[in-house]
Structure 1
Amino acid sequence: MSLRTFPHLRQFGAACVLALALSSTASAQQDEEKTPLGKKMSAMNTAFKAVGRQVEDPSKNANTLEQLATIETNAKAALAFEPEKKAKVPTAQQAKFIAGYQAGMKEFLVTVEKMRAALKAGKNAEAAAIYDAMKGQQRDGHKEYRIKKAGAPPASI
Structure 2
Amino acid sequence: MHLRLRQFGAACVLAFAISSVAHAQQDEEKTPLGKKMSAMNTAFKAVGRQIDDPSKNANTLEQLAIIETNAKAALTLEPEKQSKIPAAEQAKFKAGYQAGMKEFIATVQKLQVSIKAGKNAEAVATYDEMKGMQREGHKEYRIKKAGAPPGGN
Q: TM-score if structure 2 supplies the norm length?
A: 0.92
| In 2, Cα distance between equivalents of 1:149 and 1:83 | 14
Structure 1 residues 110-153: Cα deviation after superposition (integer angstroms, max 9, x where no partner):
11111111111111011011111111111111111111111122
Unpaired runs of at least 5, structure 1: none
Residue type of the alignment partner of 1:113: Q
Aligned to 2:114: 118
CA contact (8 A) 2:142 2:152 kept: no
Aligned to 1:59: 55
SS state at 2:15 partner: helix
Aligned to 2:95: 99
Aligned to 2:65: 69
| In 1, Cα distance between equivalents of 2:108 and 2:27 | 28
Aligned to 1:41: 37
CA contact (8 A) 1:37 1:83 kept: yes
Query: What's the % identity of the aligned pairs?
Result: 77
Moved over 4 A (4+): none
Residue type of the alignment partner of 2:2: F
Aligned to 1:138: 134
Bigger Rg over Cα: 1
Residue type of the alignment partner of 1:9: L
Cα distance, 1:16–1:155 mapped onto 2, change above 3 Å: farther
Unpaired runs of at least 5, structure 2: none
